[in-house]
Copies of this chain bind each other. A is one copy, B any other.
């Protein structure tokens, strides 16, 4: 019997509250499936780790993450460790992504249940059927290129700069992740690659490598290219046009994944995965588990922390992604997603969606469905 080691990073604000519901769900899966054994252990990460250890990513947390089969994270940050602070929770997150080689960020934006269509800020007739997966390159580009702070150089004391740099192999590997995920669906998803090739050299490389990789290695897949400005318009004006996989570089992905996550009406519902490898379809004979961080896309929401009213569904759906991508356990992953949909279909809602249900009540209902 395989035993999987999951590191849990509850984090700050509402992080611990949403994490505890997802942990209950994972424990329910393990209890009811004798063939699955999960070992969970919690570690400090983010603002709480700054407070305790003076470091958002203490060495013991980093080591545990490196040895884990997968990581489940809550949310980090808050005004207490604001933009002007010397040591910031975000620095820990960027360091952890880089240290684990998590180059593929995966963010679905869809409706967990059609009963949620009206929660969208966009008109229901435009968003019905929206089903996009943003695949963002996560450890390259402007985030990790060479940079110079204001005042750091004697020759150019009054400028600051960052470098958007990509190599052929970095673009190849993220393109392969997008292709694998497109192929896992039946029929395969269409891929929309986003760049700014009419201006940027890094985007011209991006467009060329995406085109060659998909054409040569995945001739069965359909794909097209959009400029980032025009994609930002489409996501609002006609989002179904980008149904399928949206494949893009780090900064564009940061912007577009957040923009598209507004469509389903509550950030509290959406999960994410950051992977160190291309997942094959779990059913594929060549399935290779890959380590990764799984976390809801929402922030730490310090204003409602401790009240037990945070929506735990984004974290619970992240746990489902964890089972699927890191362990190849498609059946329990699907079971969690079905349970979430059934609960939402009954009309129960947390406060972010205009309802009254607390985090624990949602957890109870999902556990009962399972």
Query: Chain A: residues with CB nearer than 8 A to chain B?
Result: 83, 88, 90, 94, 121-123, 126, 142-143, 145, 147-150, 158-169, 196-202, 204-205, 207-208, 225, 228-230, 232-233, 235-238, 251-252, 254-259, 261-263, 267
Contacts and interface: CB of A to CB of B under 8 A. Distances in A.
B205 A160 contact: yes
Contacts of A259: 229, 232-233, 235-236, 259
Q: How many copies does the complex hold?
A: 2
B262 A162 contact: no
Given A142-B200, A150-B205, A121 B159 contact: no
Contacts of A168: 150, 158-159
B202 A162 contact: yes
A238 B122 CA distance: 11
Given A122-B123, A165-B161, A233 B204 contact: no
A160 B198 contact: no
Nearest to A252: B255
Given A121-B126, A122-B236, A94 B164 contact: no
Contacts of A197: 83
A158 B169 contact: yes
A198 B83 contact: yes
A238 B120 CA distance: 11
8 contacts: A143-B199, A148-B201, A160-B165, A162-B163, A196-B251, A228-B254, A232-B256, A236-B263
A169 B143 CA distance: 24
A3 to B, nearest CB: 37
Contacts of A158: 167-169
A145 B161 contact: yes
A168 to B, nearest CB: 4
